[in-house]
Amino acid sequence: MSHMLDHLQQERAVMDAFLELLDREAEALIQSRFDELPMITEQKAQLADRINVLEHEREQRQLAAGFPTAREGGDAAAAAGDSELQQVWQDLLARAAQARDSNHRNGIMIHTHLDFVRQSINFLRAHGQSLYGPDGKHRVGLGNGHTLASG
């Protein structure tokens, strides 16, 4: 079971890195640092792939030890091990749940930003305002080009 413990510790470490990245993503969204999101998204994909590989390897180890795959097999393998193995398994499960919740939270923030942008564009279009002028440059604001001071 020491191989299983080593493997679970490795999974937990990768999950910790994933959680840190999700926190960075949330901070970037909150602070409107959208230029950071492409790199974060790429790193998330790499870590998610690594998590999937480690999960598959763990399930293969579970099968080799006579336990089924998935959560049930992990629970059974942990229960058959010592208290350290059981604790690492519980830590991994808790981190996985936290990652799911954090990823969901970030998804809500992303969709909120997208909805705001869509509503803003629709508002401008509904009021006959073009986002770009005849010269192709981005227009800012809804004004007609006259300042209040000019009457």
| Residues 91-122 pLDDT 10s | 999 999 999 999 999 999 999 988 888 888 88
Percent with pLDDT over 70 in the chain: 85
Backbone angles phi, psi at 132, to 5 degrees: -130, 140
pTM score? 0.78
Please provide the DSSP assignment of 94-142 as one string: HHHHHHHHHHHHHHHHHHHHHHHHHHHHHHHHHTT--SB-TTSPBP-SS
Which band of pLDDT confidence, cut at 50, 70 and 90, is reported for residue 147? very low
Average pLDDT (115-140) is 74
Which band of pLDDT confidence, cut at 50, 70 and 90, is reported for residue 146? very low
Which band of pLDDT confidence, cut at 50, 70 and 90, is reported for residue 151? very low
Domains located in the chain, CATH noted: 2-103 (1.20.58.300)
